[in-house]
Structure 1
Amino acid sequence: MPDQQWDKLFAQMNCARDRALLSCYISSGARASELLGVRLGDVEWQKGQLWVISKGTRARQPVPLSPESLAHLACYLDEAGLPETGMPLWRTRRGDPRPLTYWAARRVIQRAGERIGANWTLHDLRHTAATRLARDPKLTLVEVQSILRHAHITTTSLYTAVRLDDLVDKLAEHYARPVQPVAWPQQYASEDIEAVFGAGK
C-alpha cells in the first residue's frame, strides 16, 4: 500500500479503537488473527512490543510496536476502559463488550476503503508493514525475517521488489526533466558512433 493511500485509509478511522488497530497492524506486521487475539497482559509497554500466538506454530512470539502505535493503543484503552480478565484488547463498541472478530475488523477496512475508492484488506496491512521493513536500508533481510517470523528468507525477499506504484513520483520527475543532448567521449571516432547508432546519434 503506497504511503499516500495509507494516509487516506488511516484518516478514515473515526474512533480510537480503529486508529489503534490499524497502527498496531502497520508497525508490528502481525497477521490479522494474531493481533485480534492479543490480551492486556501481552503488551509490554516499556519494551515496545506485544506477544501474539503464531498462526502457524501456535507458539507465543513477540512482535514490535512503534511509539506511535503504543500512544494510539493507550488512547483506545483510556476511552474504552481496560478489558476484563481473559478478554482480548479489541472489543466491539456497541452493546455489551465482545471480542472483535476477524470479520468485523475486515468490515472496518472495507467500509473505509469504499469511502476512498480502494479495496484494501487486513492482509494488505501485513504486506505493507513487511514492505516498509524490507526497504529500510538500516535493517538487514535476516532481521526483517525475524520480525515477520518467516520460516524462509525467500519469503521475506519478495518484499524487496520495487513496484511501479512506488515509482510514480520518480517517473514524474524523470519525464519533467529536459532531454539532455547526447555527448560521446572524445576517444570514440564519429564514424564508429554513426556506424553503431546511426546518423545523427
Structure 2
Amino acid sequence: MAFYVSTGARASELLTAWQGGADPGRQLISMVRKGTGEVQELPASTDAFVWLRLYQLEMEDAIPKGRRLPLWWTLRNPSRPLTYHAAHRMFERVNFSYSSPAVLGTRQAAFEERLRRELTALSPNGTFENTVPIEAVIATRP
C-alpha cells in the first residue's frame, strides 16, 4: 500500500514493477507507465521500502527469485503474480475494513474525532502538500 500512496502511480502501473526494479538505495522503483508504455523510475517513501523488505522476508521461500520477475505476488499458495483484480480487492478491503460503520459500530464518532485531532496536529491549517516533480515535453507541428 505504501508504494501506491507514495509514488502516486496507478495500480496497473505498479503491478508492472519487477524485482530488480526496486532500488532502496536511491529510493526509486521502476515501472511501465500506462500512457507511454515506457519504463520510468518513480521516487517512493522510505516507509514503502521498509514494508517492501518485510514483504520480501515473509515471502522469501514462497516466490521465485529473479531480477526480471514480478515484484508483487499473491500470498495464497500456489503463489502467482498479483493481478489488477486482486490489487483492487486489496484496496477495497483496506478502504472499508478499518473505518466502516460495521466495524467501528458505536466507536465511529470517537474514531472520527481522533482522526481529526491527529490530522489537525499534523497540519493546523488543514492542508497537506506533497511536491511531486513533473516533466513535460511540448512540441508543435510545422
- On whether the aligned pair clears a TM of 0.5, the verdict is yes
**1:78 is paired with a residue of what secondary structure?**
helix
- Structure 1 pair 83–64 and aligned structure 2 pair: CA distance change class (3 A): farther
Verify: 1:57 aligned to 2:39, yes or no.
Answer: no
More helix by share: 1
Q: Which residue of 2 aligns with 1:43?
A: 22
Give the partner amino acid of 1:25. Y
Q: How far apart are 1:145 and its partner, in Å?
A: 4.7
Instruction: Determine the C-alpha separation between the residues in 2 that align with 1:32 and 1:57.
Output: 16
Counterparts of residues 17-96 of structure 1 (less than 5 Å) = 22-81=1-60, 83-85=64-66, 86-96=68-78
For residues 99 and 151 of structure 1, what CA distance do their matches in structure 2 show?
34
- Residue 95 (structure 1) shift: 1.4
Q: Equivalent residue for 1:135?
A: 129
Q: Structure 1 stretch 77-86 or stretch 49-58: which is displaced more?
A: 77-86
Q: How does 1:95-110 map to 2 (within 5 A)?
A: 95-110=77-92
Q: Secondary structure at the match of 1:88?
A: coil
CA distance in 1: counterparts of 2:46 and 2:74, whole angstroms: 24
Identity, % of aligned positions: 33
Name the CA distance, whole Å, in 1 between partners of 2:3 and 2:33.
16
Q: Which runs of 5+ in 2 are unaligned?
A: 102-127
TM-score normalized with structure 1 length: 0.48
Q: TM-score, normalised by structure 2?
A: 0.67
Taking a change above 3 Å as real, the CA distance of residues 151 and 95 of structure 1, as seen in their structure-2 partners, is farther
In structure 2, distance between residues paired with 1:111 and 1:53: 26
Give CA-to-partner distance per residue, 1:83-120, whole Å, 9 cap, x none.
433431111111111011111111112123232228xx
Any stretches of 5+ residues in structure 1 without a counterpart? 1-21, 119-133, 153-201
Counterpart Cα distance in 2 of 1:29 and 1:150: 17
How many residues are aligned here? 108
Deviations 1:18-40 (A, max 9, x none): xxxx1111111111111111111
Rg larger for: 1
